[in-house]
């Protein structure tokens, strides 16, 4: 029943199990999701968080016997729904990123370089005329 309960997770993850027996008769079953071989993207922290159950062996067997209606089955269903939402958001983000990139390329291609306007010749200001008593070859005086 354990494998049937975990089958929805096995489609997306590789799972590791850890079983520890305590001296008081309880057993801790820890299920650790890992990135499946060949998976394109890495796992989110919420997806890779271990699932741990501590109870007596009989209680764990009874809980696993409930299948999808048991606590583990409901937790697995919740994890699968979360993983599906994360995958959808990742896909939407990539689609938006691609669309924005394409729009930027189209906008850049549509913008034509501006041709500079012909410059207008600037007239130099007229120099004041030399004093009437100025002699060629001698500097003009201001006094």
pTM over 0.85: no
pLDDT of 24: 94
pLDDT tens digit sequence for 69-87: 777 778 777 877 887 888 8
**CA-to-CA distance for 83 and 28, rounded, in angstroms?**
25
Q: Which two tokens stand for residue 10?
A: 């096995």
pLDDT of 77: 77
Q: Indicate the average pLDDT of the chain.
A: 79
**Cβ(50)–Cβ(14) below 8 Å:** no
**Cβ(43)–Cβ(33) below 8 Å:** yes
pLDDT of 124: 67
Can you tell me the mean pLDDT for 79-107?
A: 87
**Range with the largest mean pLDDT of 4-8, 70-74, 82-86, 123-127:** 82-86
pLDDT tens digit sequence for 26-69: 999 998 888 777 777 677 777 778 888 899 989 888 887 777 77
H or E segment and range at residue 28: strand 26-35
pLDDT of 76: 74
**Cβ(96)–Cβ(25) below 8 Å:** no
Question: In the predicted model, is pLDDT for residue 25 greater than 70?
Answer: yes
pLDDT of 23: 93
Q: Which of 124, 5, 135 is nearest to 66 (CA)?
A: 5
Question: In the predicted model, is pLDDT for residue 113 greater than 70?
Answer: no
**CA-to-CA distance for 57 and 25, rounded, in angstroms?**
8
């Amino acid at each position: 029943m354990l494998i049937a309960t975990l089958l929805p997770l096995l489609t997306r993850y590789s799972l590791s199990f850890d079983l520890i027996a305590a001296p008081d008769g309880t057993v801790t079953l820890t299920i650790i999701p890992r990135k499946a071989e060949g998976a394109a993207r890495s796992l989110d922290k919420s997806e890779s968080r271990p699932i741990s159950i501590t109870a007596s062996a009989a209680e764990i067997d009874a809980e696993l016997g409930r299948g999808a209606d048991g606590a583990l089955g409901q937790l697995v269903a919740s994890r699968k729904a979360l993983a599906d939402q994360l995958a959808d958001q990742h896909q939407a983000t990539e689609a938006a990123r691609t669309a924005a990139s394409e729009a930027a390329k189209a906008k850049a291609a549509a913008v034509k370089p501006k041709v500079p306007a012909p410059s207008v010749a600037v007239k130099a200001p007229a120099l004041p005329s030399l004093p009437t008593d100025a002699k060629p070859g001698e500097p003009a005086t201001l006094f």
